[in-house]
Amino acid sequence: MTTRTGILAGGNFIIDHVKLIDAWPEQDMLAFIQSETSSNGGGPYNVLKDLAAMQCGYPLAAAGLVGTDLNGEWIRRDCEAAGIDITQLHQTDRAPTSYTDAMTVSGSGRRTFFHQRGANALLGEEHFDFSRTQAKIFHLGYLMLLTEMDRLLDDGRTVASRVLEAAQAAGLLTSVDLVSSSYPQFRQITAAALPFTDFLILNEIEAGSATGLDLRGGPVDLGRLQDAADILLQGGVRREVVIHFETGAFVAERRGGVHFHSSLNLPRGFIVGATGAGDAFAAGYLHGTHEEWSIPERLKLAMCSAAMCLRHATPSQGLRPVAECLRLADDLGFRQ
């Protein structure tokens, strides 16, 4: 029997146009663009580029849909240059490659997104063939940003849940990420995926939207996070619910374990941009999962990889090899 190794990431493949602005303007007012770059965007694309930069040492592969346009070719070439297998990164002439304008306020790192769904909206069950991969983990993202994958079926399932079920049937562990949105069927779409999800990785806003609990504003209440995680585990998550937020991260295991890890002490001026920080967290956590590290070890790396991301305005150019990421813990220490 062949030993499974590597990470296959599927879902949103996007060109991010990242613009640093001096301040977020009021309606009808002006803000100044200080710099702009184009880069990888979308959960699976970011995670794969992060893992490549972290020199993870195992195969990385993409599964998604891009246009037959210049942006689509750019994404395919960029993946190949990073050593990412694009066998299942398909192309279509029915829609343009998806893109996002990400506006990042310099100084605070806060960002706002304007998104063209494009080819990602057409990504469906037919674009995934798990018989063609020996990957250990299949990471899918983002739910709420994949029109066909998010489609609710007559039996209450979604297309995404069917893809996740097929991945598990083929022997892969599954990981799912969401996007922060006010999507009207957020809870239904999430609920359909939970029974076919081994690792659910999300932020506190998404955890609140998925459970109906108010987790926004003020200091993070670990008790409320536990409540949200319990609801998601009861909904079917098979192994772990991982909730990350500005000051740390919380993990609840199906077998009953609970873990918390605080974020790094970042000096003034450290943050250049926050675009992709959640995906960098996921990349660190998935790497530790792939390597079968303990949950505290995984959380430590996830905090460090997320912090590395903050050093650059783009999602992945701040990432460094795993050992270098972990050195941030020694250099900066963690919040008390």
Strand partners for 260: 250
- What is the percent of the chain with per-residue pLDDT over 70, rounded to a whole number? 99
Would you say residue 274 has pLDDT above 90? no
6-46, pLDDT tens digit by residue?
999 999 999 988 889 999 999 999 999 999 888 999 999 99
Would you say residue 328 has pLDDT above 70? yes
**Within a 13 Å sphere around the CA of 30, how many CA atoms are in the beta-carbon half?**
2
Would you say residue 1 has pLDDT above 60? no
290-315, pLDDT tens digit by residue?
999 999 999 999 999 999 999 998 89
CATH class of 7-332: alpha beta
Q: How much is the average pLDDT of 168-193? A: 95
Rounded to an integer, what distance in angstroms lies between the CA atom of residue 285 and that of residue 278?
11
Would you say residue 150 has pLDDT above 90? yes
pTM of the shown model = 0.92
- Chain centroid to Cα 255, Å, comes to 24
What was the pLDDT predicted at 2?
66
Rounded to an integer, what distance in angstroms lies between the CA atom of residue 141 and that of residue 179?
8
Secondary structure percentages of the chain, helix, strand, coil, to 5: 35, 25, 40
